[in-house]
Amino acid sequence: MPELNKEQEEAASFIDGICAVIAVPGSGKTRTMMERIGKLVKLHDVAPESILGLTFTRNAAEEMRSRLIPVLGDQASRVMLSTLHSFCYWVLKCEGRVFEILSGKEQLIFMRNILKQLRIKNVSLGMALNEISLAKNNLITVDEFRDLYEGDKIGSRISEIYETYDWEKTKKFLLDFDDLLLEVYKLFSSNPAIKDKYSERFQHVLVDEFQDTNPVQLELLRSLISSDVEGGSLWVCGDDWQSIYS
């Protein structure tokens, strides 16, 4: 395997604090991230279990796993590498939450039944799901959504759908993918002891494709690095400096 260049070596050798790596697609950001994990474990005696690597698609997470094995060997399996959604699913299950995932065809049928129940014909199924997802990703509650679209006929109907959709899911112990992030955000915000448990466990958090982060994801990452424990790092990489520094 070719050696890292000067800039990649500098990024991989970073220890504590916050580091942002910005480079064009295909320039070796993910590889540098894996080499950094290897250096933390081999050179700085960091426990693999205290390292969390996050990305935003399942394929990217699998790619990280495959690239870490040549770097760490058998210890690679001890590092948690996952999508942020999978990480949130794991947190909720660790905290004893009982739920099933609502997604795909089942989610479409579920929303179609909500529209029928409310006798709404001027809002499409796709529009309802997209608007609710956008609101949740931007931490906009049902009440805030209702106030935001007060006086707007379509917006008011969507707020009604939003409220009913969440209520019906709650009754059936269902969470959609957006809920996974939102529920962990609420959990960390309302229970500092639980938040600290995870931020203390994962001393080093690395995020690939950070430019894809939305507001709820950003707040979750902030929660994970807000522990008072000394040491630790947040290492992010992406190809859009405006998204990383905004």
Q: What is the rounded distance in angstroms from the CA atom of residue 31 to the CA atom of residue 162? A: 41
| pLDDT recorded at residue 212 | 82
| pLDDT recorded at residue 20 | 85
Comparing 39 with 18, the larger pLDDT belongs to: 39
Residue 105 confidence (pLDDT) above 60: yes
| pLDDT recorded at residue 16 | 85
pLDDT confidence band for 244 (50 / 70 / 90):
very low
Based on its alpha-carbon atoms, the radius of gyration of the chain, rounded to whole angstroms, reads: 20
HSE at residue 101, side-chain half, CA atoms within 13 A, is: 14
Residue 229 confidence (pLDDT) above 60: no
Residue 242 confidence (pLDDT) above 60: no
Q: What is the rounded distance in angstroms from the CA atom of residue 23 to the CA atom of residue 66? A: 22
pLDDT confidence band for 22 (50 / 70 / 90):
confident
Residue 241 confidence (pLDDT) above 60: no
| Residue-wise pLDDT tens digits, 145-187 | 999 999 999 999 999 999 999 999 999 999 999 999 999 999 9
Task: Among 80-94, 112-126, 204-218, name the one with the lowest average pLDDT.
Answer: 204-218
What is the arithmetic mean of pLDDT over 71-94?
96
> Is residue 215 exposed (0-12), middle (13-18) or buried (19+ Cβ within 10 Å)?
middle
Task: Among 11-20, 48-57, 133-142, 197-206, name the one with the lowest average pLDDT.
Answer: 11-20
pTM recorded for the entire structure: 0.91
